């Protein structure tokens, strides 16, 4: 099989997964018990007409997936006058529906929130990747020494630490020296230029620190074990026999090979970037996608949940695809069969 | 080796240093002054001419600036809009935009004297004509958030600039309460809009009213800024600016108060476990206030429900009441910040609460005696009594999946077991639980909710019509006498006569027990007493308009 076939096959699987997610995402929120209109109608005194109008506005007046009445009246065309076809039609137009609580377009809500999450998570991930790789290399290079043991212990300790717990501890010991929550001091806007970004940076410190400290352990442990594994390979012995010094071996042979699993793990983790670090965003009240999801769960705002789920699924599918493709490019052993 | 150790120590110290940087790091330009969690920051004295800003911490600001479909952020909306009647304390209604009012003898024609010199935030006049326009518009547009309060308003006219006349289709017993929910909105903003335009209106000008504060800015999920309305008809508010900060969790709100980031917390923003910490902190005042929140054990009382026949026996219901240790629920679940409750209307609602009702005490012996006398015996010795048909007194007992709810349900189940009734708790998702109501497919449910400041709704949910689809009955209770009294209290304008009816209805519910009432929780907030003082506590919420307008800087 050719490389192009491999590409097509991977693309095909990605698209198939996406379609499955889209369908699943629709039915997931419809199989839940209860009438969604009850979630929008907050007062027992609201008239039946008002309730009906809300039902129509949110497209909840139609059957979920098969319109029997419509089928008898207008055949197949009427049969598909349903919530499901409306959902697919709107999705193709980039319309993810209207939030039950804010009545805003879910697409707009996601657009407002996504960059805030990306700023936080990318910064945290970047620092974690950089420090994780560095510490992992040092540990592998000094394998078996007390330094290695120390790094390993540190990695296991921070890896085992629950995110929200660590975040709360940071909040408590910071005692007000850093902002308790939010992204910016009320009143500052992007138009204020440097002052705004300085303030955002100030608000970023605690959540980024939490993300970095907790995420770096995963990179560090994987980096360490893959370097250790590579260092025990025969070609390293050959390199030694050729007279290369330890640094050269490490740089030219061990590192390059050890980076393979790292690429996969980085690509996969970045897939979760837009999903946000729900716990970190919640602990530090960071107004990103994760917070949006947390609030939507609390308010049972199903259209928003549906939108965030879809966004998360799409980014994970894309990241997986990128990882597959990168892997095939980087590692000649990954040959399509 | 020494070198390696140095690197190791450096690395190990790195995290410690980063952590300690948080704890004792250098000052940043915008940061508040350093403070210990126990002792909030002491900001430098503000110069006399600097505007007074109140920072409020909440877990949710609101859903939208448009009040025609916004269901959240009521305390903020009341800062922006006025109503004809205002709530000054729980169930205490006083003049708002209406200075005074009269009602005809038949209870059908209400005449209001509208305050003079009131202006909307955009400068347009708010006289009787504007009020009449607003009320008529509310009805014509069928504004989903408050039109239903005007359900029997037949004609609304301004007789002159200061006189508003309302003709009703039938008398109402709670006019002041109904009007407290109907905001007066300006024609200048809403006059040209049709229904669809109204439902899509997102602009901040949707928040133009006659209230003491003007909406200046709102960033969704982050903050909202209100500025004092210098032309407010009472007096210019002392607090020049209110900033509402949104935090994701209650714990963050508490931390923000202790760190000096906010001056006051919203209601529902203090976990019970944090109360002691706040009370111990210097310069923090923690008012414990009355509320209309009630918790109850619902007993399925629908004749077509799926409950066992024994649950209909008044003796079984009475024995259950004897078997529930409400005081333990208060102590364990509310850490003491609640009162045990007998009748459905709590004491916080003033004279609507039937104070003649003596609650059934927790008395296992008395409960057992009631069941013994009624002939329920435990013939097979398994600890559970049996009904006359031989079936054991075993009930399905549902509640929502929440740790506090679980604890309360355990206390109830333990107590019931002591009188020979088995009701092991089953926890489920709120949606799943609500889905059981229409078919009345349960025996017992633990539930809690908040009453309106008028007792009408608390009675409405026990009426027969509310059992239909879309209704709000959760017990399935339906009784002819109760029904008649409900209708009568609805049209009784005289307060004393209506109060007597409401008392009778509470007594009937207390004896029939579709609900066994458990507790009435306290409202708890906290504020920086070194910075602010004077907030009213009568409404159970120091951020409520009447309460907040009394607040002022402490220095």
Task: Tell me the pLDDT tens digit for each residue of B502-515.
Answer: 999 999 999 999 99
Q: A14-17: which pairs have CB atoms within 8 A and are 24 or more residues apart?
A: A14/A317, A14/A318, A14/A320, A14/A321, A17/A317
Q: Is beta strand B53-58 parallel, antiparallel or unpaired with respect to B241-246?
A: parallel
Q: Are A90 and A81 in contact (CB under 8 A)?
A: no
How high is the ipTM of this complex?
A: 0.85
pLDDT of residue B538 exceeding 60: yes
pLDDT of residue B352 exceeding 90: yes
pLDDT of residue B299 exceeding 90: yes
Given pLDDT bands bounded at 50, 70 and 90, which one contains residue B8?
A: very low
Least Cα distance to A318 among A110, A12, A14, A10 occurs for A14
Given pLDDT bands bounded at 50, 70 and 90, which one contains residue A246?
A: confident
Mean pLDDT, range B171-189, rounded to an integer? 95
Mean pLDDT, range B473-484, rounded to an integer? 95
Shortest alpha-carbon distance between residue B431 and chain A (Å): 6
Q: Are A81 and B47 in contact (CB under 8 A)?
A: no
**The predicted structure's pLDDT at residue B474:** 92
- Share of residues in chain B with pLDDT > 90 (%): 77
Q: Which of B145, B149, B255 sits opposite A172 (nearest CB)?
A: B255
Mean pLDDT, range A141-156, rounded to an integer? 90
Residue B198 sits at the chain A interface (C-beta within 8 Å): no
pLDDT of residue B292 exceeding 90: yes
Report residue A336 as tokens.
């399509």
Q: What angle do CA B355, B356, B357 make, to 5 degrees?
A: 90
Q: Is beta strand B264-265 parallel, antiparallel or unpaired with respect to B53-58?
A: parallel
What is the per-residue pLDDT across A37-94, written as a single tens digit (0 to 9) for each? 776 766 666 777 777 887 887 888 888 877 777 777 777 777 778 888 888 988 999 8
**A202/B145 CB distance under 8 A:** no
Better-scored residue on pLDDT, A65 or B4: A65
Distance CA A306, CA B25 (A): 42
pLDDT of residue A325 exceeding 70: yes
Given pLDDT bands bounded at 50, 70 and 90, which one contains residue B48?
A: low
Backbone dihedral region of A88: left (phi > 0), alpha (psi from -120 to 50 degrees) or beta?
A: alpha
What is the per-residue pLDDT across B218-270, written as a single tens digit (0 to 9) for each? 998 899 999 999 999 998 999 999 999 999 988 899 999 999 999 999 987 78
**The predicted structure's pLDDT at residue A252:** 82
Q: Identify the bridge partners of residue B552 per DSSP, sorted by sequence position.
A: B533
Q: Is beta strand B444-450 parallel, antiparallel or unpaired with respect to B397-400?
A: parallel
Substitution target in B2, B30, B241 with the highest count of A β-carbons within 10 Å is B30
Shortest alpha-carbon distance between residue B259 and chain A (Å): 4
Report residue A26 as tokens.
């629709």
**The predicted structure's pLDDT at residue A42:** 63
pLDDT of residue A23 exceeding 80: yes
Mean pLDDT, range A104-118, rounded to an integer? 91
- Share of residues in chain B with pLDDT > 70 (%): 91
Mean pLDDT, range B388-400, rounded to an integer? 93
CATH number for the domain running over A106-330: 1.10.3720.10
Domain ranges of chain B: 1-18+52-81+211-289+528-555, 83-187, 293-521
Chain A residues in contact with B432 (beta carbon < 8 A): 33-34
Q: Are B95 and B85 in contact (CB under 8 A)?
A: yes
pLDDT of residue B111 exceeding 60: yes
Instruction: Please tell me what DSSP assigns to residue B202.
Output: -
Average pLDDT over chain B, rounded to an integer: 89
Better-scored residue on pLDDT, A314 or A4: A314
Distance CA A83, CA A25 (A): 13
Chain A residues in contact with B13 (beta carbon < 8 A): none
pLDDT of residue B4 exceeding 60: no
pLDDT of residue B17 exceeding 50: no
Better-scored residue on pLDDT, B187 or A173: B187
Whats the size of chain A, residue-wise?
Answer: 337
Mean pLDDT, range A140-151, rounded to an integer? 90
**The predicted structure's pLDDT at residue B98:** 97
**The predicted structure's pLDDT at residue B13:** 42
Shortest alpha-carbon distance between residue B160 and chain A (Å): 32
Distance CA B31, CA A328 (A): 49
**The predicted structure's pLDDT at residue B26:** 34
**B24/A177 CB distance under 8 A:** yes
Shortest alpha-carbon distance between residue A311 and chain B (Å): 19
Substitution target in A102, A131, A220 with the highest count of B β-carbons within 10 Å is A102
Superfamily of domain B293-521: Dipeptide-binding Protein; Domain 3 (3.10.105.10)
**The predicted structure's pLDDT at residue B80:** 97
Q: Which of A47, A112, A291 sits opposite B148 (nearest CB)?
A: A47
For B3, residues 6+ apart whose C-beta sits below 8 A from its C-beta are none
Residue B460 sits at the chain A interface (C-beta within 8 Å): yes
Q: Are B498 and B230 in contact (CB under 8 A)?
A: no
Nearest chain A residue to B4 by CA: give it: A147
Residue A217 sits at the chain B interface (C-beta within 8 Å): no
**The predicted structure's pLDDT at residue B38:** 41
Given pLDDT bands bounded at 50, 70 and 90, which one contains residue A236?
A: confident
pLDDT of residue B54 exceeding 50: yes
Residue A167 sits at the chain B interface (C-beta within 8 Å): no
Given pLDDT bands bounded at 50, 70 and 90, which one contains residue B469?
A: confident
Given pLDDT bands bounded at 50, 70 and 90, which one contains residue B39?
A: very low
- Share of residues in chain A with pLDDT > 90 (%): 26
Phi, psi angles (nearest 5°) of residue A66: -140, 120
Given pLDDT bands bounded at 50, 70 and 90, which one contains residue B336?
A: very high
Distance CA B373, CA B370 (A): 5
pLDDT of residue A334 exceeding 80: no
Work out the angle between the directed axes of helices A302-330 and A106-141 (0-180°, nearest 10): 40
Q: Of A3-7, A245-249, B116-120, B449-453, which gets the smallest average pLDDT?
A: A3-7
- Residue with the two structure tokens 């076809």: A85
For A275, residues 6+ apart whose C-beta sits below 8 A from its C-beta are A289, A290, A293, A308, A311, A312, A315, A316
- Residue with the two structure tokens 């009955």: B473
Least Cα distance to B474 among B455, B447, B495, B501 occurs for B447
Q: Are A321 and A7 in contact (CB under 8 A)?
A: no
Residue A12 sits at the chain B interface (C-beta within 8 Å): no
Q: Identify the bridge partners of residue B257 per DSSP, sorted by sequence position.
A: none
Strongest mean pLDDT among A139-143, A259-263, B202-206, B544-548: B544-548
* Three-class secondary structure of residue A316 per DSSP: helix
Given pLDDT bands bounded at 50, 70 and 90, which one contains residue B464?
A: very high
pLDDT of residue A259 exceeding 50: yes
Phi, psi angles (nearest 5°) of residue B400: -80, 155
Given pLDDT bands bounded at 50, 70 and 90, which one contains residue A298?
A: confident
Q: Is the dihedral of CA B370, B372, B375, B379 positive or negative?
A: positive
**A179/B252 CB distance under 8 A:** no
Q: Are A96 and A303 in contact (CB under 8 A)?
A: yes
Residue A120 sits at the chain B interface (C-beta within 8 Å): no
CATH number for the domain running over B1-18+52-81+211-289+528-555: 3.40.190.10
pLDDT of residue B21 exceeding 60: no
**The predicted structure's pLDDT at residue A100:** 84
Least Cα distance to B435 among A301, A100, A31, A42 occurs for A31
Beta strands in A221-328, from DSSP E residues, in sequence order: none
Given pLDDT bands bounded at 50, 70 and 90, which one contains residue B120?
A: very high
Shortest alpha-carbon distance between residue A324 and chain B (Å): 34
**The predicted structure's pLDDT at residue A336:** 53
Into which CATH architecture does domain B83-187 fall?
Alpha-Beta Complex (3.90)
Q: Are B101 and B110 in contact (CB under 8 A)?
A: yes
Domain ranges of chain A: 106-330
């Amino acid at each position: 099989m050719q490389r192009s076939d491999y590409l097509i096959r991977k693309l095909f699987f990605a698209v198939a997964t996406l379609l499955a997610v889209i369908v699943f995402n629709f039915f997931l929120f419809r199989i839940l018990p209860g009438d969604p209109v009850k979630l929008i109608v907050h007062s027992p005194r609201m008239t039946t007409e008002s309730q009906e109008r809300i039902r129509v506005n949110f497209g909840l007046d139609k059957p979920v997936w098969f319109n029997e009445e419509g089928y008898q009246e207008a055949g197949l065309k009427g049969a598909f006058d349903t919530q499901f076809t409306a959902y697919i039609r709107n999705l193709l137009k980039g319309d993810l529906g209207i939030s039950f609580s804010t009545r805003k377009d879910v697409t707009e809500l996601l657009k407002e929130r996504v960059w805030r999450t990306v700023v936080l998570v990318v910064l945290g991930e970047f620092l974690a990747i950089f420090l994780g790789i560095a510490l992992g290399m040092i540990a592998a290079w000094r394998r078996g020494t007390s330094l290695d043991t120390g790094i390993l212990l540190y990695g296991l300790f921070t890896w085992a630490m629950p995110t929200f717990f660590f975040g709360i501890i940071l909040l408590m010991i910071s005692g007000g020296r850093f902002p308790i929550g939010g992204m910016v001091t009320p009143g500052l806007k992007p138009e204020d230029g440097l002052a705004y970004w300085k303030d955002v940076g100030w608000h970023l410190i605690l959540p980024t620190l939490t993300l970095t400290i907790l995420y770096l352990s995963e990179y560090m442990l994987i980096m360490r074990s893959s370097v250790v594994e590579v260092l025990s390979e025969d070609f390293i012995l050959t390199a030694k026999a050729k007279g290369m010094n330890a640094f050269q071996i490490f740089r030219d042979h061990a590192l390059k090979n050890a980076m393979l699993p790292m690429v996969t793990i980085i690509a996969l983790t970045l897939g979760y970037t837009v999903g946000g670090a729900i716990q970190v965003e919640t602990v530090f009240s960071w107004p990103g996608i994760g917070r949006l999801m947390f609030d939507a769960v609390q308010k049972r705002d199903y259209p928003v949940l549906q939108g965030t789920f879809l966004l998360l699924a799409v980014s994970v599918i894309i990241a997986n695809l990128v990882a597959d493709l990168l892997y095939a490019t980087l590692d000649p052993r990954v040959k399509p069969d | 080796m020494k070198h390696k150790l140095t690197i190791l120590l450096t690395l190990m110290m790195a995290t410690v240093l980063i952590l300690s940087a948080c704890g004792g790091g250098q000052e940043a330009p915008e940061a508040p002054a350093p403070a210990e969690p126990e002792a909030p920051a002491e900001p430098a004295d503000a110069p006399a001419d600097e505007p007074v800003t109140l920072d409020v911490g909440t877990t949710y600001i609101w859903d939208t600036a448009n009040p025609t479909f916004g269901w959240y952020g009521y305390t903020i909306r009341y800062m922006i809009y006025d109503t004809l009647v205002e709530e000054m304390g729980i169930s205490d209604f006083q003049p708002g935009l209406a200075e005074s009012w009269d009602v005809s003898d038949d209870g059908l024609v209400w005449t209001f004297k509208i305050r003079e010199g009131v202006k909307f935030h955009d400068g347009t006049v708010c006289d009787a004509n504007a009020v009449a326009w607003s009320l008529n518009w509310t009805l014509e547009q069928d504004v989903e958030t408050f039109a239903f309060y005007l359900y029997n308003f037949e004609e609304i006219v301004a007789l002159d600039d200061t006189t508003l006349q309302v003709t009703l289709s039938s008398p109402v017993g709670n006019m002041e309460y109904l009007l407290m929910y109907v905001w007066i909105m300006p024609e200048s903003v809403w006059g040209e809009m049709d229904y669809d335009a109204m439902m899509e209106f997102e602009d901040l000008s949707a928040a133009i009213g006659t209230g003491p504060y003007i909406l200046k800015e709102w960033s969704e999920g982050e903050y909202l800024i209100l500025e004092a309305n210098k032309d407010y008809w009472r007096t210019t508010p002392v607090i020049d600016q209110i900033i509402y900060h949104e935090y994701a969790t209650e714990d963050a709100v508490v931390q923000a108060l202790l760190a000096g980031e906010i001056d006051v917390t919203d209601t529902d923003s203090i976990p019970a476990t944090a109360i002691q910490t706040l009370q111990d902190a210097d310069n923090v005042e923690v008012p414990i206030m009355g509320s209309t929140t009630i918790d109850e054990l619902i007993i399925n009382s629908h004749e077509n429900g799926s409950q066992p026949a024994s649950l209909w026996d008044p003796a079984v219901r009475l024995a259950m009441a004897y078997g529930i240790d409400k005081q333990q629920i208060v102590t364990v679940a509310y850490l003491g910040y609640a009162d045990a409750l007998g009748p459905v209307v709590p004491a916080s609602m003033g004279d609507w609460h039937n104070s003649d009702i003596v609650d059934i005490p927790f008395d296992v012996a008395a409960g057992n005696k009631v069941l013994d006398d009624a002939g329920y015996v435990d013939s097979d010795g398994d600890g559970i009594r049996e009904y006359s048909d031989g079936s054991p007194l075993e009930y399905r007992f549902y509640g929502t999946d929440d740790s506090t709810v679980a604890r309360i349900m355990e206390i109830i189940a333990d107590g019931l077991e002591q009188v020979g009734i088995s009701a092991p708790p089953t926890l489920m998702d709120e949606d799943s639980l609500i889905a059981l109501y229409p078919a009345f497919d349960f025996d017992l449910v633990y539930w809690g909710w908040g009453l309106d400041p008028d007792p009408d709704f608390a009675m409405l949910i026990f009426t027969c019509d509310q059992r239909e689809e879309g209704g709000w009955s959760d017990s399935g209770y339906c009784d002819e006498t109760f029904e008649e009294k409900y209708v009568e209290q609805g049209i009784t304008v005289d307060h004393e006569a209506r109060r007597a009816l409401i008392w009778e209805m509470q007594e009937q519910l207390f004896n029939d027990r579709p609900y066994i009432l458990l507790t009435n929780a306290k409202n708890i907030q906290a504020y920086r007493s070194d910075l602010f003082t004077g907030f009213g506590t009568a409404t159970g919420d120091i951020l409520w308009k009447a309460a907040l307008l009394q607040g002022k800087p402490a220095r």
